[in-house]
Chain A
């Protein structure tokens, strides 16, 4: 029974990582790619680690705290990494997709620059 749960978690993690990679190829610009990379990767990694944790807990009777810490840090760092990459990309003028329909940040940046002159 517990093996089924572990298998489902591992398969889900692997599948989500694959789908995330497909997303990285398919999205048109940096920002869209980051969407795919952060979301799928986070849940994918978390479910793989959770599967490993349950495996060690049930079959070997070991409580591996490091794995739980890994989950916490993945949870905390993935969005921060995405945020920094998106911000740096915007600051060095990486173009958004042609079909993007709104850009509030450009207005804010323009306003800020005109104030500083």
Chain B
């Protein structure tokens, strides 16, 4: 992946030299042309097209924002209801993610989603302990974490 980005930047520089105009706009244009070249040659050069991951990162970011807004709506409902209608508790959520920074990302995502807050890790980092304010819905929450967040994170890293 790092090699492809370097190649892409190199192509942009060559573009700039060929056009004999050294501006940011020309660089961006060269970058886009290089990107298109890499996309066309992706099978020929035996590598995954790296921009796929960049798109996955954007998807993850949008998911993050969307969940943050949902969780705020949820929070406002609870805060403004006259009776505290919550059933809090700590639930264990197993995860398939391996590396440290994947798990950290997942923990951050969980903290910003409706009604959940990461509290602790198990020793091997495979189980997250999550404080939830609606424990009866825990199956649903765990399923959501597995289906949407883990998948989105995996798309970025694999």
Q: Which residues of A contact B (CB under 8 A)?
A: 16, 19-20, 22-23, 26-29, 31-32, 34-36, 38-40, 42-43, 75-76, 78-80, 82-83, 86-87, 90, 96-97, 99-106, 108, 112
Given A26-B79, A108-B122, are A31 and B88 neighbors across the interface (CB < 8 Å)? yes
Cβ of B120 under 8 Å from chain A: yes
Cβ of B100 under 8 Å from chain A: no
Q: How far is the CA of A76 from the CA of B112 in the complex (A)?
A: 10
Which residues of chain A have C-beta atoms less than 8 A from B118's C-beta? 79, 83, 86
3 tightest A-B CB contacts, nearest first? A102-B89, A79-B111, A104-B92
Q: Judge whether B68 and A102 touch: CB under 8 Å.
A: no
Q: How far is the CA of A98 from the CA of B122 in the complex (A)?
A: 25
Q: Judge whether A16 and B72 touch: CB under 8 Å.
A: yes
Q: Judge whether A101 and B135 touch: CB under 8 Å.
A: yes
Q: How far is the CA of A39 from the CA of B90 in the complex (A)?
A: 18
Q: What are 6 contact pairs spanning A and B, CB under 8 A? A: A31-B88, A32-B133, A39-B72, A78-B112, A79-B107, A90-B120
Within 8 A of A (CB), among B47-95: 64, 68-69, 71-72, 75-76, 78-80, 84, 86-92
Which residues of chain B have C-beta atoms less than 8 A from A31's C-beta? 88, 117, 119, 131
Q: How many B residues have CB within 8 A of the partner chain?
A: 35
Query: A80, A108, A112: which contacts B92 (Cβ < 8 A)?
Result: A108
Q: How far is the CA of A23 from the CA of B133 in the complex (A)?
A: 13
Q: How far is the CA of A99 from the CA of B78 in the complex (A)?
A: 16
Given A83-B118, A87-B119, A105-B120, are A40 and B129 neighbors across the interface (CB < 8 Å)? no
Among B71, B72, B88, chain A packs the most CB atoms within 10 A around the CB of B88
How many Å from the CB of A103 to the closest CB on chain B?
A: 5
Which residues of chain A have C-beta atoms less than 8 A from B68's C-beta? 39, 42-43
Q: How far is the CA of A103 from the CA of B138 in the complex (A)?
A: 12
Which residues of chain B have C-beta atoms less than 8 A from A76's C-beta? 108
Looking across the interface, which residue of chain A has its beta carbon closest to that of B72?
A: A43
Looking across the interface, which residue of chain A has its beta carbon closest to that of B111?
A: A79
Cβ of B123 under 8 Å from chain A: yes
Q: Judge whether A83 and B88 touch: CB under 8 Å.
A: no
Looking across the interface, which residue of chain A has its beta carbon closest to that of B112?
A: A79
Q: Judge whether B117 and A103 touch: CB under 8 Å.
A: no
Looking across the interface, which residue of chain A has its beta carbon closest to that of B78?
A: A23
